[in-house]
Chains A and B, each alone.
Chain A
Amino acid sequence: MTATSVLVIGAGIVGCSAAYYLAPEADVLVVDPMGLATQASTQTAANLHLQLSYTALKGGEEEFRRHARIIELNDDADRRWTALASETGGRVKVVNFGGIVVAESDDDVDILRRKVELERAAGFTTEFVERADLVDLVPEVASGVRGASWHAREGYVDAKTACYELARAARERGARFDLTSAVSGLRRSGGRWRVDTDPGGGVDADIVVVAAGAWTERVLSPVATVPMEVSGLTMSVTEAGSRRVEHLVMHTSRPLSVKQVSSGNVMIGGGRPARVVRVEGPLGWRTEPLRASLRAGMDDAVRVVPGLDGLRVVRSWEGLLGSPADDIPVIGEVPGQPGLIVSVAGHTGYTLGPTCGWAAARLALGQDPGVDLTPFSPGRFAAVGVAAGGTR
């Protein structure tokens, strides 16, 4: 039996940043059966999404306002990534070259105008860009783009190395990582948390931070309910090439994100689906490619950014995204379970990763996270929890 003051379950961006923020002030142990950042936090496109995506526009204005509550987290995340970059001497690589959501049809132009209006009312710094101004602002998009919404702080993070850098810094400050054990059980015992691990003799912890992404529901299931939805997403990347895109380019009504990272490779994402298959093993799921998604992603990319013509796609992969069932981040202590903290954001979970990690760390230390977490409390599922608990 290992003992620690804080146990972090999951070594993705949330778990690694929580460990980074906790390490100077607490005894921290991170466990993950798969290794460092092997799941969503490495499969991710790692775009810094600071305006709302087309999915937020689907359910009407009431729904839109619900999504807009994320703004405080977005602002915090933006500041926090910048700080992480400077605290690590630039080894956490953050690029804020601005992001643009394009409209190729008049209908999409109308949607974008409305989105920008609503976003600005909610405090976002999104701007609508007329066709005539696009040529100067984002010359790389096709001439058929009729309008766009722009956020100057959007960009991306180098997700290949970010978790490694945060984990290294955390280790240097005393955090421990067990990257071969899965948490298999969780219960309260003698005022502490008794956590079973497989393999291993288990962990005794004062505080448990659940940073298990898509596996949040599963890890919590013995003691609480946070319903999650799991989906497979598709990514492709091209060989490195000369500079062709200097911004993050997205689409109003089609799942698309295109950016060229500093190594010259162009990443194509945006959320096209992949197949999710249930399997045995610590994670319980695996993903498989859908040809239609690959093809549509590539075709959209080169249509919207014609300069990509001729680049070779060297690899495609899929990733598993876990989102809270109501699509709003869950950050907070589980009501009635002292010292059990959950932190998971979903769709823009990479962007919000350090904020999720920071808030969880503050809560674990009994300190004020500095952002209003009321809209994100796991307590909102409490009613569901009782019902579900009754059937277990």
Chain B
Amino acid sequence: MSAPAAGDPRPDRTVDVVVVGHDEAALAVVDELRRRGAEVVLADDRQVQVWAVTPLEEGDPGSAGDRDPAGMVVDLAVDGLPADVIGCRAVVSALSEYGTVPLVPGGEHAGEPGEPLDDDVLLVGGHLGATEDALRHGTPREVWLPFGRAALLGHLLRAPALLRVGALPAVRLLALLRRRGVRVRFGTALAAIERAGDALRAHPRGAGVDDPLTVRRVIVADSRIPPSELARSVGARSAWDAVLGGWVVANDAALLPVVAAGAAAGVRGPAGLAAHGVLVADEIATLIGLDGGPAPGRRTALGRAVRRGRQLARWQAGIAGRTPLPDAGTGADTVVCPCEGVTLGDLEAIVPLLPDPPTPRDVKTVTRAGMGLCQGRRCAAAVTAWAQRCGRVSTDVLDAGLRPRLPLTPLVLRAPAQPRGHEADADRLVKRQEP
């Protein structure tokens, strides 16, 4: 197993899909894709780490040839050492948050893949698992957390029992960071990254700080940075495309084609994770053109996912608003809801329409923020923070705010393939599909 030179995307081997994670969602994706004949690698994140995912251009060595999309190369490491370089057509991240895949500007390796963390690394975001993982392999120079110290501990203590186990690691983590002498900046988000020679200069945004840090590498480990901020921070341009119904990232190297499964997509609970895993496998199968219809029973499992989801929703409602929205200098074009293309400017514009005091629900209804594909998982915190910053929303109405609704994840409308109930209709459908 050889570590490629920086920027060399040549893989050791090529499969259809790499699934990163180890929980029920990851296993369900793997099972389901294998059942359909796909070649899948499960990268168990307890043993291996994903150091980088690099999208391939058409014609790159190792690209999946004329297949679309061109594919990706995943660099895996074990205990900080380069382990495997795998080419694939899709990556499923079944880690606990969207952002746990290290992100480097322009999709290039800003350092050797699999290289141990050293003091030339900045870790932003504060996802506990990712931060802890990173610390196992070295000591970053700084850690930037978007929330205050009190908020971090506070919201973990309020988490439902299912999630409260996180409180202990949080305390442990902060102690560890202090012992190692890592500078932790609370209430600080990533505003921008620029190239500075061979290194990267990261600009913070937050409580009055303007003290950039020059490092060789930045790892983003949080999903709560508004994605446009993230895209912007790595220099990507994005534009709202009404036809596609989404933000189109002009420099698509910044946001990698990684599919989130299970906890990474906001689903909790074993049944929910497994159900979601199967759904994701369905989507991947469609994406890369595997045969076979949707697995039977997936909707039943989804019902169970919903019940688990409610617990999560309550917890999310609780933490919403405790995560500050990057504000100083945040432009009106900052995207608050990436699914529906709602910007800070849009929020400001609808104030006159809202009752006083407005609830986050009012904001959602009027702007559509939180009504898109992710159903508020990415924007709930930002919308609530904004509403609170307007000083008009009291905390006891936050529960009326954004909450994931059933189905927790998209179900796809499909013309029935098998006759069911309405025999005549099914018949007709089959006929319709004939040329």
Contact = CB atoms under 8 A, between A and B. Distances in A.
Nearest to B354: A164
A299 B412 contact: no
Nearest to A91: B353
Given A291-B299, A303-B422, A303-B425, A313 B411 contact: yes
B368 interface: yes
Contact of A239 (B373, B416, B425): B373
Contact of B425 (A35, A104, A238, A310): A104
Contacts of A308: 413
Interface string B231-252: 0000000000011010000000
Contacts of A29: none
Nearest to B352: A168
Which of A179, A302, A303 has the most B CB atoms < 10 Å from its CB? A303
A241 B410 CA distance: 14
A35 B428 contact: no
B361 interface: yes
Interface stretch (A215-223, A314-322, A329-337): A314-322
A239 B353 contact: no
B353 A164 contact: yes
Interface in B291-324: 299-300, 303, 306
Nearest to B411: A313
A315 B414 contact: no
B265 to A, nearest CB: 12
B410 A313 contact: yes
Interface residues of A, number: 48
B429 interface: yes
Contacts of B299: 291, 294-295
A159 to B, nearest CB: 9
A303 B366 contact: no
A168 B410 CA distance: 34
B312 to A, nearest CB: 16
A303 B412 contact: no
A161 interface: yes
B375 A306 contact: no
Interface in B359-401: 359, 361-362, 365-366, 368, 371-373, 375, 400
Nearest to A309: B415
A369 interface: no
B365 A160 contact: yes
Contact of B413 (A263, A310, A316): A310
Nearest to A301: B413
B378 to A, nearest CB: 13
A142 B303 CA distance: 30
B435 interface: no
Interface string A159-185: 011001101100000000101000000
A311 interface: yes
A303 B362 contact: no
Contacts of A310: 412-414
Chain B interface: which size bin?
35 or more
Interface string A99-114: 0000011000000000
A383 B159 CA distance: 54
Interface string A273-309: 0000000000000000101001100110111001011
Contacts of A161: 353, 365-366
A86 interface: no
A36 interface: yes
A26 B376 CA distance: 40
B223 to A, nearest CB: 18
Given A179-B355, A306-B432, A313-B407, A164 B362 contact: yes
A239 B400 contact: no
A212 B256 CA distance: 49
B306 A289 contact: yes
B424 interface: yes
Contacts of B354: 164
A264 B432 CA distance: 25
B405 interface: yes
Nearest to A168: B353
Given A308-B413, A312-B411, A313-B413, A160 B366 contact: yes
A104 B422 contact: yes
B407 to A, nearest CB: 6
A144 B423 CA distance: 12
Contacts of B411: 298, 312-313
Interface string A233-246: 00001111110000
B168 interface: no
B175 interface: no
A264 to B, nearest CB: 6
A291 B425 contact: no
A316 B375 CA distance: 11
A298 B411 CA distance: 10
Which of A144, A238, A294, A298 has the most B CB atoms < 10 Å from its CB? A144
B406 interface: yes
A168 B356 CA distance: 11
B280 to A, nearest CB: 12
Nearest to A105: B424
A179 B400 CA distance: 13
Interface in B35-64: none
A39 to B, nearest CB: 12
Given A311-B412, A316-B405, 13 more contacts: A38-B400, A105-B424, A161-B353, A161-B366, A167-B355, A239-B245, A242-B243, A264-B245, A302-B415, A309-B415, A312-B373, A316-B407, A317-B405
Interface of B: 242-243, 245, 299-300, 303, 306, 352-355, 359, 361-362, 365-366, 368, 371-373, 375, 400, 405-407, 410-416, 420, 422, 424-425, 428-429, 432
7 contacts: A143-B432, A161-B365, A239-B410, A302-B415, A308-B413, A309-B413, A312-B413
Which 10 A-B pairs have CB atoms at the shortest separation, nearest pair first? Answer: A312-B410, A240-B245, A144-B428, A302-B413, A315-B405, A313-B411, A309-B415, A308-B413, A311-B413, A160-B365
